[in-house]
Amino acid sequence: MDSHYSVLMNALSTLTPPQLSDLIASISALFQRHNRRLVSLLSSPALFSLTLRYLESLSLHHKSLLIGKHLLSNLAHFSHFMHTKTSAPSYSSSNMKLRDLDAVLLLLLFCELRQNDPSALEVEPSKWRTVVCNYYVHNTMLTFSSMAVSDIEVLNKFIVLSTKFLKFIGVIDCDGNPKEGKEVAAAAAVVVALPSVQVHGGGKECVICKEEMKQGRDVCKLPCTHLFHWMCILPWLRKTNTCPCCRFRLPSDDVSGEIERLWEVLIKIGSGSNSFF
């Protein structure tokens, strides 16, 4: 079985029936929203033309970034329903403007069409909307027909699409492990929300400055429970989103960094799980 697929299936297998039901409802609502956007896009020549021109103006890097944000939104759906301290929500990196959502949905539809029929778009660009409409109506991974589908079909579609995006973005290797990337700063919203706690007992050392955290002094507490002087941890988190003690990752505003972080969360959650449901 594909390693990316296995990681997602193992994480799903840890959900309780109520969690799984909520996840399926959330995924279905997401698919419905995307379906409505695609229908609007394909039924409006003006909107299709504007979106196509916007896509053509983007570099390959920016197109990959759009798909990365789309993938990040999918992974955030998973982590949101995993009730664990390591599944902190994604922040601004997963937010997409409507224009960008339209662009990435059209881009993915183009990619799917080209994969299934490489010569389909070898016509005048003015005919592309008709070609894409016909394909979308009759055969596409991005939507379902009006027929009722089972919960298993919804989950399977979601997992298959997420796996495709992971392979395209390339931040996860073929064995399902995050690739080593650049260090990224912790998200500003996360840092601002970190709690201040009072040291009790004394004798504890801040591993950054190697000085004692004196009793009664307010210090910063990370989600992994490690404590640091505020003046030490803030410069640290401006450079990297990992805890100096245990390498716990805080959310970041970097798309690739967030994909890697959430993927690591899913690997940890699903490790040791051998059954589905």
Per-residue pLDDT of the chain in tens (277 residues, 90 and over written 9): 578 888 888 888 888 888 888 888 888 888 888 888 998 999 999 999 999 999 999 998 888 888 888 888 888 877 777 654 333 444 444 567 889 999 999 998 898 888 888 888 888 888 899 999 888 877 665 554 444 567 888 888 888 888 888 877 777 666 667 666 678 899 998 999 999 999 887 678 999 999 998 888 899 999 999 999 999 999 999 999 999 999 899 998 888 888 888 888 888 887 754 333 3
Indicate the domain borders of the chain: 3-178+254-270, 188-237
Q: What is the CB neighbour count within 10 angstroms for residue 132? A: 23
* Domain 188-237: CATH class, spelled out: alpha beta
In angstroms, the first-to-last Cα distance of the chain is: 18
Cα 273 to Cα 11: distance, rounded to the nearest angstrom:
8
What are the φ and ψ backbone dihedral angles of 14, each rounded to 5 degrees?
Answer: -90, -10
| pTM listed for this prediction | 0.75
Do residues 126 and 32 lie in contact, with contact meaning Cβ atoms separated by under 8 Å?
A: no
Tokens, residue 254: 């970097």
